[in-house]
Structures are given as structure tokens and as C-alpha cells.
Structure 1
């Protein structure tokens, strides 16, 4: 525990100039223990009780180390995909759109109202993880639980390509989709870096005068990469996925940005002009390190006059809803998003 406290103190100090009011003293809190709450499902309790992410405060330091880490994580994720596809009754087929690699994820039974609709998925992973099929779990969950056909984008990532390559790929797929169908029949969704890229894509499309999606669903988006936001402190060492403000995911984002200003709205979309955005549903949890990122993005949208819904789930840390397809909370999250899309997409 002393080592963790020391790491946390260092993380907080690293971001103090950018994210803390310097004329107000910090509030000192006593050491405390957080029990796994009984207010969530047994499946969610199991995830909450897991230890902190291995290596959260010792990220790779070379491009090759980042590549090896991504490959190792992808190999582990791929092992669970056949079972997930079978349980949720979806088919996956590789393809290409706009010169970008994609996967078409199709339910064996598409809901009748969704036959002329399409969802575009942007996977998470702090801009560096989940290459190839490893980026598919969330797309499979949405296709299987929501009954929508989904295209999941296998965007370029470091060390092969840096900012703005991922965004360029997402915009290229959106342009290709627009050549095939009406924007009013499409929505875009994704979590973490995928949530940020969803917002960034809309900013970019708006700037280029492109038709916008009928709706979007950024889940726990990395909407502010500068380290601002209260939950970076209040949920430090509580979120067992991202863990702390100066941890693995920040290092990955810096690696992706490759020297670019982290406050650029195309990396931190909370600072962008979101007027005219499509209806948006955002998702987070009470233990999520990015709860403030999600809440602040919601307020930015609402202040710009955008229809925006915010769902915050009990005790969930970062993107827990993508972890276990048998958890009732997972089905509730995707049920809410699917219903939101159904309300806003043309048939």
C-alpha cells in the first residue's frame, strides 16, 4: 500500500498545475477500504473485486515495447471471441471501406426495424490496444444485444501510425458509408478512445460539411487528455482498469499524440465546438476514472443545445459493461443505447 500511495501522490502532483485550483488547499482524506458493493450483480461484483491492472504505472518506453504489449493483449482477447460470437449469435466478416480495414458484424437475426440501418463502431484501447479482431467485443455486444448490423473499424495505431491516422481512418469509413446510405439511417458508437474518436469524427465531419450521424454513443470517452477533471482524483486507485491520472492510458495517449497538443479538440473533444451535434447518449460508472470526462462532455453538449442523455451505472469502473455479456448491467447498457438509436435513426 505505501508504494501505491506514493505512485498516486506522484500522479496527482504531475497534473496539479493543469487541473487543480492553486489558491485552494486540497482536502486531506484518511486511509480507507472500499468494499465490493452488494448493490450490483454477482458478475459485476467479480469484476469490481479484481486487482489493479498490471503495469498501470509502468507503461512501455519504446515503440517495440508498445507493439509487443498490444499483441499480447490482442492474443488473449481473441481467445474469447468464438464463445462470445456463439452466445450472441453473430457472424463476423473482414472487409474494407474507404481503404480502411473493417469487420462487418451481423446478427443472425437482424431486427426488422434495423434492416436498413447501420451502426459504425470505433473500438477503445487508449489509441494503442486492440488491433484486428481484438477490437470486436463491443461491436459483437451491440450487434447481438441490439439486433443491429455493425461495421467495426480496425483503424491504424502506433507505432505504425500516429495522430491523426486513427481519426483519418474513421472519417474515411464515414465517407464511404455515406456513399452507400443516408446518414439518417446510421449511428456511431465506441468506448474510451473509441468514445473520443466518435466525438472527434463528428467534429471533423462538421468542419468538412459532411452529413452527421443520426445519433452517437460515446461510452466513457477520453474527452479530455490533459488530465483535468475531478474524478481523476476521486476515483484514483478505485478504478482498477485505468487506475490513476498519470498511468498507462495517459502514456499511451501521449505516445499516440506524438508531440501534438493534447488540448487540441481532435484529441480532447470536450474543448471543441459541439453546436449542431447529433443526439448523444453517454455512459459511465461511479468508479470510472473518466466519470468527469463523461459528465463534462455531457454538460458541454447540453450547454450547446444538443439532446444528450447520460447514464451512470452503480460501482462500474472504466467500461465494465464490455467485460461480461452475461451481466444484467451489460444488457441494460446496450439496451439503453439500442433504444436511443431506435428513437433517432430513420428506418
Structure 2
């Protein structure tokens, strides 16, 4: 028998539709009269073509890749529901250095040193606003900066945070990598140890992770692991996750909680937002931009899918409670979301904070903005909830 296209019966709005079922080519329409008004509504279930139409789609997905969707050019307005200062940041033009693709550690160090000088010049004023003091030191032979708030509440006296800075594994050397630690100390009232890990051309993969782990292991000698938190953003966020993977390998205890913000969790460029937020993110701009080039210099030919470079591919079972932060325009939005889903599937308590309109790491751009205070307040509250438990 030839199958006919299913038909949907017309519905008279003055009568109640009790049940309409479309099966193959037959339509069964049960109508129940209602005196003056509809008082019974039953579910409408449609079988047949609506379900069968999906079969060829699944069959095609198994045999050939689907064609990419073409998106016409769009105009992005600046959000009106963020602070004026954040509007300025969101509305800024694309990072003019996004497509500088240096290929050597020496070239990246020259750029990093120039940028660092500008950053360090602004740090004293930030520390004054945040009521934080800094001390340069060494822990297990690794250079660190200890950021201590003027006021540490009693419940934080035995707690410490370790911060690993971002910068695509090549930027923010020395004190220039401490701004996140300053804000965390100021907003959260925790003592924060900022790790000044080695970078190209001095050292390459896995030097950043090695240095961070030296500090982590040494700090654990003098305090309970549940009183320790670890945070970082971008490459620093990836390093936080990599540290947890390495700690598992070494049999070291997990900290009380971690905060890997907008982590570079997959440097193989897998993830939807690498495409949807291309040239929407005004910081990283493109999956083929400077951060991709810098990471390849750091990796020195190592497999980019190694979980110690792309931690989203690692085993996250047993990770500590985690808070992740990103923005709707962040090129690494998918990197962050994928980590969150992987943690949840592993049974790990994980929170995901996504901020309106923000590109990569813009929640930490300016300590004077309400969005910055809000983001660091959320992270601090998460540490408050979990450290020492």
C-alpha cells in the first residue's frame, strides 16, 4: 500500500480539541462540544511524517559531514545593560595585535617585556585601591609575588590561594602577571601567591606547569590541602586544570576548590565559539590569532591534544569543586562550557558564570568596574563556601 502524506485536520476554535492523532495516511479527529467555552484540552501527538522525516538526517550524519552554515554579516550593538565602563571595553575595536604571529620565543619575549613595563606602571595604584601589599619571594626555587590584603578576616587566616597568570604561555612575565592576584586579594581578602613561572625563550613546555607544581607541592607541606585554593585565567585557567591532572599523576591531594576562568582548555581549536565568536571577541579575535601562534611556540612541536596542554581531554574525576567564568562574546566560551560539562559528568561540583557581552577575560580588565567586583565576588564566595570543608 502506498503511504500517503499525513494530514492535519483543521481545528474549530469554538470547540475543544480533545485528541488529534495522525497515523500514516489516516486522521482521527475527536471533537467534544463545549457549551460556550473550551474546558478540556488534551495532548496533541503527531506520529508518522514528523518522526520519519528525521531518519534520513541521522543516516546522512553517519556517512558524510554536514555542510557548515553560512551566516550573513551582522552588526553588533554594545549592550545597554552593563556599566558605562564595561560598555567602553566591549565597544572597543578589535585588538590591533591579534594577527601578530611571531614564531620564536625571543620575539615573544621582546613583546612581553614591552607590554610588562606598561602593566607594571599601573600596579601600585591598583594595590592602593585594593588595599593590598606585595612581597617578592621564592618558593621551591620559583619566583613568586605574595599579595596580602590589609585586612584578612579570622576565617581566612589559615587559607591561601595560588594564582597562575595568563598570557598564552608567553606574556605577563614578572610582576606584570599579578593583577588577577591583586584583585583576588583585594576583593576576596585572601593571601594570594602569584607564580612567576618560566616562559619562552627561557623555557618551554612543560616549564609553566612544572613551576606551578613546585609551588603547589611546597605550599602543601605547611598547610592542609582543603585550606588551599588555586585560580588562573586564560592560559592560567588551563594551568589550573593541568595542575589538577598532574597532582593526580603524582598522588598529591586536591585543593579545597579551584577557579579556572575562561581556560585555554583545548588548543586544537575544537569548539563552537571558535567560530561563532570569531571577530566578535575583540581581545583574542580569531582562533588563528596571536594566542594560537604563541601556544605553538611554547609547545615546541608537542602534541597539542596532550591533556597537559589541552586539559579538556584529561580525566577530571576526583577534581575539587570548581567555578568557571567567561563571557557571551568570549572566543573561549566553548572551552569553558566544555570543561563545565565534563566536570558535571564526572560528578564534580561546578559552577559556570557567564557575563553579558564580555569578550575574553574582560571581567578582570579594570578593578574599578562593578562587573569586576561582581565576578571576583562570586569567585571569593565560592572559595569561602568550599575552603576548609
Residue in structure 2 matching 1:100, options 118, 122, 142: 142
Deviations 1:19-78 (A, max 9, x none): xx9611111111111111101111110101111112211222333211110001101111
What value does the CA root-mean-square deviation take over the aligned residues? 1.1
Q: Distance in 2 between matches of 1:256 and 1:160?
A: 10
Which residue of structure 2 aligns with residue 195 of structure 1? 237
In the alignment, structure 1 segments of 5+ residues that lack a partner are: 1-20
1:37, 1:344 → 2: CA distance? Answer: 34
Residue 345 (structure 2) aligns with: 303
How many equivalent residue pairs? Answer: 327
Moved more, 105-114 or 270-279: 105-114
Kept in 1, the 8 Å contact 2:104–2:297? The answer is: no
Quick check: 1:209 aligned with 2:251?
A: yes
* Partner of residue 94 from structure 2, selected from 33, 47, 52: 52
Contact 2:103 2:294 in 1 (8 A): no
Quick one: distance in 2 between partners of 1:78 and 1:22? 52
The runs of at least 4 aligned residues of structure 1 exceeding 6 Å deviation read: none
3-state SS of 1:180 partner: coil
On the 8 A contact 2:233/2:262 being kept in 1, the answer is yes
TM-score for both structures, normalised by structure 1: 0.93
Alignment pair present for 1:35 and 2:77: yes
Distance 1:204 1:251 in 2: 25
Q: 1:182 aligns with which of 216, 219, 224?
A: 224
Q: How far apart are 1:279 and its partner, in Å? A: 0.3
Instruction: Tell me, yes or no, if structure 1 residue 127 matches structure 2 residue 166.
Output: no
Which consecutive unaligned segments of at least 5 residues does structure 2 have?
A: 1-62
Structure-to-structure mapping, 1:95-244, within 5 angstroms:
95-244=137-286
Q: 1:218 is paired with a residue of what secondary structure?
A: strand
**SS of corresponding position for 2:359:** coil
* TM-score in terms of structure 2 length: 0.83
1:318 is aligned to 2:340? no
Going by fraction, where is helix more abundant, 1 or 2?
1
Say if 1:314 and 1:95 are closer, same or farther in 2 by CA, change over 3 A.
Answer: same
The CA distance in 2 between the partners of 1:288 and 1:53, in whole Å, is 13
Give me the whole-angstrom Cα distance separating, in 2, the residues matched to 1:22 and 1:61: 36
Distance 1:63 1:126 in 2: 12
Q: Does 1:86 align with 2:117?
A: no
Tell me, in whole angstroms, the C-alpha distance in 2 between the residues paired with 1:22 and 1:35: 37
Mark the structure with the bigger radius of gyration. 2
